[in-house]
Amino acid sequence: MSGKKKVIVFTTGGTIAMKYDPKVNGLVPAVSGEDLAAAVPGLDKVADVEVREFSNIASPGMTPEMMFQLSKMINEALESEEVAGAVVTHGTDTVEETSYMLDLLHKGEKPVVLTAAMRGAGDTSPDGPANIYCAVKTAASKEARGKGVMVLLNETIHAAGQVRKTHSANPATFASPWWGPIGYCDVDRVVFRREPLNRQTFAPEALTARVDIVPAQTGIGRDYIDYAVAKGCKGIIVEGFGRGNIPPMMVEGIKDATDKGVVVVITTRTHGGRPYQVYAYPGSVTDSRNKGAIRGGETSAAKARLKLMVILSEKPELAGNREELEKLMDV
C-alpha cells in the first residue's frame, strides 16, 4: 500500500494540451491527459495520480454548463476517502471563470487546484509540466485543505475569486490585483500566507437561469439591455466605469428590465474596488439603484455573471428580493 496521497487530475484541454500543427500553422489540441501526466518528471513521487479526461478543447469553448458538469464530477470524486484533492488542467483564457464557478459549487475541505500553460506542449520551453507538478503537490498537501478552489501557475497560488489573467502572452500573466496570491509552491513544501476570505457556496440542481453581460461604452444607449431582456435573460450584468457609473442613456433600459423582473447588477471594469453610490448624477450608481439595479461587489463582470446564474438557478425567488440578493452579490 503506497504512503502517497491520491490526487485525481481532470483534463479539459487548453494550451497545456496543444502542439503546433504545420498544416494549420498554429497550436491545436493534440495531447491526451495520460500524455500530460507522463511528461511531468517526478510526478509519481508527489502523489498517486489518476487522470480522468473531461474534454480536450480550447478554453474559449468552455461553457457554464460544462463547468457545472465538471463540478459534479469533481465533487463526486472527492467523496472517496482515499482521494486527497483534485487538479484540473485548463486553458488560460477562461480558467478564472471555470475556477470561480467550481469554487461557488465546491463541497467540503479538500482542495481543488486549476493549472494551465501559456506555452504549448511542443514549445521549446513549455511551462505546463512544472505547473502540473506544483498543482498536484498543492492538491496533495494538508496545508491546502479548506482553501477552496485555487489557480496555480509559475509556482504561485491564487484564490479563484480574486485571480485575473493580466497579459495576453506573458507566462507570468496571472495575478490577484490589489490582494496578491495566497501562497506558493516551494521546493520542500507548499506555503500559504493568507486565507481566501468571504467564499460563498451554492447547490443548484441545474443551471436554469440565463445571465448576460452588457459593458458600458461611451455613447451607448439601452439597445443591448433590451436585447438581453427580449432573449429571456433572468439577469443582466452591467459592467460600468470606475465606481460603476454608466452612460445616462442606459438607465431607462435598466428600469424597464427590472420592472419586468429581470435582475440587473452593476459591476466595475476596474481590477479593484466595488461599485457604490458616491455620485448622484444621471448614470451614476445612485441613479441605477433608484431604477432597480443592485451592486455587484468586487468580482469581475465575468465572475458576477456566473454567481448570479448560480444563485437564480438555485433560488429564483430571490429575483424579487432585491435587498437579500444585493447582500449575496456585494461581497
Q: Do the domains 6-192 and 211-329 sit in the same CATH topology, yes or no? A: yes
CATH superfamily of 6-192: L-asparaginase, N-terminal domain (3.40.50.1170)
pLDDT value, residue 18: 67
Element (H, E) at 134: helix 128-139
pLDDT value, residue 3: 76
pLDDT value, residue 1: 44
Domain ranges for the chain: 6-192, 211-329
pLDDT value, residue 137: 98
pLDDT value, residue 21: 77
Q: How many residues does the chain have?
A: 331
Residues of the chain with pLDDT under 70: 1-2, 18-19, 30-31, 33
String of DSSP letters for 253-297: HHHHHHHTT-EEEEEESSSS--------STTSHHHHHHTT-EE-T
208 is catalytic: no
CATH classification (class only), 211-329: alpha beta
φ and ψ at residue 300, rounded to 5 degrees = -65, 165
pLDDT value, residue 2: 58
- Which residue is catalytic, options 11, 12, 15, 98? 15
pTM for the model: 0.95
CA distance 145 to 108: 9
Written as nine digits, the cell of 127 is 511551462
Distances (CA, A) of 157 to 101, 116, 260, 274, 327: 17, 12, 42, 23, 28
pLDDT value, residue 157: 98
